[in-house]
Amino acid sequence: MGSFDVIVLGGGSAGEWVSKGLAGAGRSVALVEALRVGGECPYVACMPSKSMLRSARVRHLVSRAAGLGALSTRPDADDADLAFAAAIRRRDILAGHRDDTGAAKGVEQTGVTLLRGQGRLTRPGAMIVTDAQGNETEHTWTDLVISTGSTPVRPGIKGLDTVATWTSDQALSSPHRPASLAVLGGGPVGCELAQAYGRFGARVTLVEAADRLLAREEPSISALLARSLAADGIDLRLGTEVTRATPDGSGARLTLSPSSGSGGAPGNGLAGTSNGGPAKGAERTITVDQVLTAVGRAPATSGIGLEAVGVTPDQTGGLETDQRCRVVGHDHIWAAGDVTGIAPFTHTANYQARVITANLTGTSATADYRAIPRTVYTDPPVASVGLTQDEAQDAGMEVITAGMDLGETARSASEGETAGRLLLVADRRRGTLVGAAAIGAHADEWIGEATIAIRADVALVVLADVVHAFPTFSEVYEPPLRELAALVT
């Protein structure tokens, strides 16, 4: 039995960060983790997916070499199997071959007690940790930090359990390149993996129940992403759902139907075009070697004994927290990361971990989520921050917007990267930026300008006076900012 100032339940990004921070401040800390220290991001999510996307982008650039004034001398440049195998080797090196030995040692070297096993709360101030051999040990805490992350949502499709199915975690740890792949879900993960596999020669069909990709982002940005994925040969089935799955040899036969309220037949999401799908209400089937489910994730709150300490998750399964990242109604229970259901990104988890660490070491800190960036690392990438137009209007703001196509910048011409757009959303009464959405080369980097502007409430007239280096993609901010500033002065 151990007694600690703080027990951190869950060793993902947030748990690792907060446990190190508290131990460094002299607190006695235990970190409870059954799988890998560092969570999913370094091993089966963020890092391996970005590695695969980078490899896919390089492969795509090689195919454009002649048009960019270069020639490829690689004899195997068009061999998808060899290229994919090389990408997998690089992916696994960057993911540490999914071995957390180094991360675990790093945690312990800071003075954290690492408890390998499943943690379950038994009463206020106490937890039982069950190790891999089934041995149970009780530990006590003064403060508890819950950072158990999230788990993939499995769609309730009839017969799905009878066919070859991956979650994103499995796809990003498998060495297999299927000849054909159905991606279920048009959110960030679905779009990224669809493009990565498609650029390595897989025949990819992406199925999304909503009428567009990235349904929570600005429609104009979603439409441009749809165009880019379609140009990569990805078959987009938007406004469509899978109603049944049946085995077909070693693969799967999927029955597709228009989703309720989709307004029409499955289509490719591009304005004014159609894939020739069936009439509304009709069904069609596709056959693929592999199915990848990417329909979302849910906070991991079941089975950890929350009822023993009087904590009830909200309707989404998440833990409601206050501005200090404490679980509402509990002075000594804190939560960070995906388990809170707030902006489920690694950078959000790390931010919440910093807030918790400050509060538990005597410095009052509060979280401000107005400017948490959202990024999809496709090619071109999508990057957003703050509110969409609809969200700003729902908040009662006097909304004004302005935008510009990235192709109008000189840098786009020199780079040969002309696809893209920036849309800015402002509150006219306050004269400040409240949202930005972008797609285009390196948008994940230059969205930072809008992130700072929103977080610091920088006046539009000041933003409009900022000078950008020439030629850069960030020049795309200048005309729309001047347009917005003119509307508030």
pLDDT at 66 (0 to 100): 83
Query: What is the average per-residue pLDDT within 14-35?
Result: 97
Query: 88-97, 101-110, 254-263, 274-283: which has the minimum mean pLDDT?
Result: 274-283
Q: Is the Cβ–Cβ distance between 167 and 190 less than 8 Å?
A: no
Residue from 324, 371, 378, 316 nearest 347 by CA: 371
**Phi and psi based region of residue 72 (left: phi greater than 0; alpha: psi -120 to 50; beta: remaining):** beta
**Distances, alpha carbon 289 to alpha carbons 178, 230, 301, 419, in Å:** 6, 20, 33, 32
Which residues are registered as beta bridge partners of 88?
none
Q: Is the Cβ–Cβ distance between 193 and 48 less than 8 Å?
A: no
Q: Could you tell me whether strands 118-123 and 374-376 are parallel, antiparallel, or unpaired per DSSP bridges? A: unpaired
pLDDT at 218 (0 to 100): 97
Residue 262 has pLDDT above 90, yes or no: no
Which residues are registered as beta bridge partners of 321?
327
Distance CA 209, CA 231 (A): 21
Q: Is the Cβ–Cβ distance between 291 and 308 less than 8 Å?
A: no
pLDDT at 275 (0 to 100): 45
Reported as a single tens digit per residue, the pLDDT across 342-367 is 999 999 999 999 999 999 999 999 99
Q: Is the Cβ–Cβ distance between 193 and 44 less than 8 Å?
A: no
Query: What is the average per-residue pLDDT within 428-457?
Result: 98
pLDDT at 283 (0 to 100): 87
pTM for the whole structure:
0.93
Reported as a single tens digit per residue, the pLDDT across 392-414 is 999 999 999 999 999 999 999 99
pLDDT at 409 (0 to 100): 97
Q: Is the Cβ–Cβ distance between 184 and 294 less than 8 Å?
A: yes
Q: Which residue has the tokens 């948490």?
A: 372
Q: Which residue has the tokens 């069950």?
A: 130
pLDDT at 79 (0 to 100): 87
Q: What is the phi/psi pair of residue 85, to 5°?
A: -60, -40
Query: 101-110, 114-123, 214-223, 279-288: which has the minimum mean pLDDT?
Result: 279-288
Confidence of residue 276 (pLDDT cuts 50, 70, 90): very low
pLDDT at 261 (0 to 100): 59
Residue 142 has pLDDT above 90, yes or no: yes
Q: Which helix (H) or strand (E) holds 432?
A: strand 432-440
Q: Is the Cβ–Cβ distance between 87 and 55 less than 8 Å?
A: yes
pLDDT at 265 (0 to 100): 41
Q: Which long-range CB contacts under 8 A does 67-76 form with residues at least 24 apart? A: 67/416, 68/416
**Phi and psi based region of residue 231 (left: phi greater than 0; alpha: psi -120 to 50; beta: remaining):** alpha
Q: Could you tell me whether strands 399-405 and 420-427 are parallel, antiparallel, or unpaired per DSSP bridges? A: antiparallel
Query: What is the average per-residue pLDDT within 313-338?
Result: 97
Query: 61-75, 93-107, 457-471: which has the minimum mean pLDDT?
Result: 61-75
Q: Which residue has the tokens 């997998």?
A: 88
Reported as a single tens digit per residue, the pLDDT across 227-249 is 999 999 999 999 999 999 999 99
Residue 477 has pLDDT above 90, yes or no: yes
Q: Which residue has the tokens 């069909």?
A: 205
Q: Is the Cβ–Cβ distance between 149 and 135 less than 8 Å?
A: no
Neighbours of 281 (CB within 10 A): 8
pLDDT at 264 (0 to 100): 43
Residues above pLDDT 70, as percent of the chain: 94
Domains along the chain with CATH numbers: 2-39+100-151+298-360 (3.50.50.60), 160-295 (3.50.50.60), 374-488 (3.30.390.30)
Residue 277 has pLDDT above 60, yes or no: no
Query: What is the average per-residue pLDDT within 271-288?
Result: 62
Token pair, residue 298, equals 């849910």
Q: Which residue has better confidence, 341 or 282?
A: 341
Q: Is the Cβ–Cβ distance between 212 and 226 less than 8 Å?
A: yes
Average model confidence (pLDDT) across the chain: 94
Confidence of residue 26 (pLDDT cuts 50, 70, 90): very high
Q: What is the phi/psi pair of residue 203, to 5°?
A: -85, 110
**The CA-based dihedral angle spanning residues 266, 270, 271, 276, taken in that order and rounded to the nearest 10 degrees:** -40
Distance CA 227, CA 459 (A): 34
Kindly give the residue spans of alpha helices, DSSP state H, lying in 172-240.
188-199, 219-231
Distance CA 83, CA 70 (A): 19
Reported as a single tens digit per residue, the pLDDT across 34-71 is 999 999 999 999 999 999 999 999 999 988 888 888 87
In the 8-state DSSP scheme, what is residue 158?
Answer: B
Q: Which helix (H) or strand (E) holds 402?
A: strand 399-405
Distance CA 424, CA 457 (A): 14
Residue 489 has pLDDT above 80, yes or no: no
Reported as a single tens digit per residue, the pLDDT across 181-216 is 999 999 999 999 999 999 999 999 999 999 999 999
